Amino acid sequence: MRKIFFFFLWTAMVFNSHAQEFKAHVQVDASAVRGSNKQMFVTLQKAIESFLNQGQWTEQQFNNHEKIKLDILLMVKSYDLKKNEINGELYFRSYRPVYNSDYETLLINLIEKNFNFKYREFEKLDFNLELYDNNLTSTLAFYAYIALGHDFDSFKENAGRQYFEKAEIIQNNAAQNGIKGWDKDHKNNSKGDLIELLLDPNSTYYHRAIYTYHRWGLDMMADNVRLGKNNIITAINYLQKFKEANARAGYLIKIFFDAKADEIVQIFSAGPPVNLTFVLNKLKNLAPNYDFKWDEIQKKAKQNTSSSRPNRRMPPGSLK
């Protein structure tokens, strides 16, 4: 069973030999496309959900409460009926439950602004790890393995590598077929650049940050808020070390803060005090594009010195 090394987090698990890994919710928004078969996009939405939810992506056992929640939005910008070509924007999010709470933390928040693929209504979405078939299934499978890799990394340091390696197989197959957006070009933050960074030996501190932030940061907050917050500071320090060790670290650091910026504001705006000056200096150095959010921390910390009612969407214990 996956994550058995953290059996103390969840007890009384019941095996389900048919359980898959994902609990995906998919929305296909084709409101920008006029005069086309709208039912086709409903069919596509259901097909994507089935592809992700009914596939067997690992050799691990997943119980229902362990399934990885995915939120996927496909914004269709254009549709060529004659060529069966769709162009749109793909938003891919995955979540992770936090120990001893009903809170789910956003783990990855990826956006593909120029997503092109071919699809005919009722076409079966097949996938073979070793062969490139089409951009739709390859992209979905690629991000599925990226989500799995981050999820496993968050429970045990570097446990997600095997899934990142599967994503690289998909990337290599697509790149060899000349599909745009898959090359490792070091210019456009492509899917090739993403997987190259995730598997780079100089990205060790990134994976350590993911593990520390979640396992020893968020998961710890239910029992010891102060220790959890300090461990999150340690994770931020690991990101600083990652930036120093890898000249191209900025892409993964951006991905991290695109998912975590709002959560970090909530964590450090209240609760046991920490050295906010130190934290803010680190955050502004790592993610200056979120300076407006880091400024919120100091403002909210002053406002929340006398506690208000907890927000259920905040990390557990963040207002204690």
How far is 231 from 317, CA to CA, in rounded Å?
14
Q: What does 97-119 look like in DSSP terms, one character per residue?
A: E-TTSS-EEEEEEEEEEEEEEE-
- R_g of the chain computed on alpha carbons: 20
- Let me know: does 132 contact 173? Beta carbons within 8 Å: yes
pLDDT recorded at residue 229: 97
The pLDDT averaged over each successive group of 10 residues in the chain (320 residues) is: 42 42 97 85 97 93 89 96 95 96 96 96 93 96 98 96 98 95 88 97 97 98 95 98 96 97 95 92 97 93 61 46
What type of residue sits at position 224?
A: N
Give, for 276, the enclosing helix (H) or strand (E): helix 276-286
Rounded to 5, what percent of the chain is helix, strand, coil? 50, 15, 35
Question: How do beta strands 104-118 and 85-97 pair?
Answer: antiparallel
The answer for residues whose C-beta is within 8 angstroms of residue 272's C-beta and 6 or more apart is 225, 226, 229, 320
Per DSSP (E only), the strands in 45-178 are 68-80, 85-97, 104-118
The answer for residues whose C-beta is within 8 angstroms of residue 124's C-beta and 6 or more apart is 47
* Sheet strands side by side (includes 22-29): 22-29, 68-80, 85-97, 104-118
How far is 128 from 138, CA to CA, in rounded Å?
9
The pTM score is: 0.89
Structure tokens at 305: 């010195």
- Let me know: does 209 contact 230? Beta carbons within 8 Å: no
pLDDT recorded at residue 265: 96
pLDDT recorded at residue 315: 52
How far is 61 from 2, CA to CA, in rounded Å?
6
pLDDT recorded at residue 305: 59
How far is 254 from 276, CA to CA, in rounded Å?
21
Q: Where are the domains of the chain?
A: 22-119+131-199, 227-303
pLDDT recorded at residue 36: 67
- Let me know: does 159 contact 153? Beta carbons within 8 Å: yes
Length of the chain equals: 320
pLDDT recorded at residue 19: 52
Sole residue written with tokens 């089409």: 134
The answer for residues whose C-beta is within 8 angstroms of residue 149's C-beta and 6 or more apart is 160, 161, 162, 163, 164, 167, 198
Give, for 91, the enclosing helix (H) or strand (E): strand 85-97
Going by C-alpha positions, the residue among 104, 106, 141, 147 that lies closest to residue 125 is 141
